[in-house]
Amino acid sequence: MIIGLVQKLKNDFEIDFKRPELLDEAFTHASYVNEHPKEHLKYYERIEFLGDAVMQLCVSEYLYRRYPGMSEGKLSRLRAAMVCEDSFSKFAKECNFDEYIRLGKGEEKANARQRPALLCDIFEAFIGALYQDQGKKAVEEFIAKVVFPKLDLGWFDHLLDHKTELQELLQEKGEVTITYDEVADLGPEHDKMYTMAVSADGKVLGTGSGHSKKEAEQVAANAALKSLK
Annotated binding residues for Mg(2+), written as ranges, equal 48, 121, 124
Q: Which of 10, 36, 46, 214 forms a contact with a copy of itself (CB under 8 A)?
A: 46
- Give Cα separations from 55 to 4, 83, 132 (angstroms): 25, 7, 13
Residue placing its CB nearer to a copy of itself in the complex, 70 or 92: 70
Does residue 144 interact with a copy of itself by CB under 8 A? no
Has 133 been annotated as catalytic?
no
Does residue 75 interact with a copy of itself by CB under 8 A? yes
Task: Select from 2-10, 19-27, 70-78, 196-204 the region that touches a copy of itself (CB under 8 A).
Answer: 70-78
Q: Which of 12, 16, 61, 99 forms a contact with a copy of itself (CB under 8 A)?
A: 61
Q: Which of 71, 111, 114, 212 forms a contact with a copy of itself (CB under 8 A)?
A: 71
Q: How far is the CB of 109 from a copy of itself (least distance, A)?
A: 25
Q: Which long-range contacts (CB under 8 A, 24 or more apart) does 201-208 make?
A: 201/176, 201/177, 202/177, 205/166, 207/183
Q: x/- contact string, 160-199, with a copy of itself (CB under 8 A)?
A: ----------------------------------------
Q: Which of 37, 40, 72, 188 forms a contact with a copy of itself (CB under 8 A)?
A: 72
159 contacts 172 by C-beta, under 8 angstroms: no
Has 141 been annotated as catalytic?
no
Residue placing its CB nearer to a copy of itself in the complex, 70 or 122: 70
**Would you give the end-to-end CA distance of the chain in angstroms?**
43
59 contact partners, CB below 8 Å, separation of at least 6: 79, 82, 83, 143, 147
Q: Given 124, 133, 165, 217, which residue is catalytic? A: 124
Q: Are strands 178-186 and 193-200 parallel, antiparallel or unpaired?
A: antiparallel
Q: Which one-letter DSSP state was computed for residue 28?
A: B
Strand partners, 182: 196
Number of residues that bind a copy of itself (CB under 8 A): 20
Task: Say how many CA atoms lie within 13 Å of 208 toward its Cβ.
Answer: 25
Secondary structure E strands in the chain: 178-186, 193-200, 203-210
**Applying CB under 8 A, which residues contact a copy of itself?**
45-46, 48-50, 52-54, 56-57, 59-61, 64, 70-72, 75-76, 136
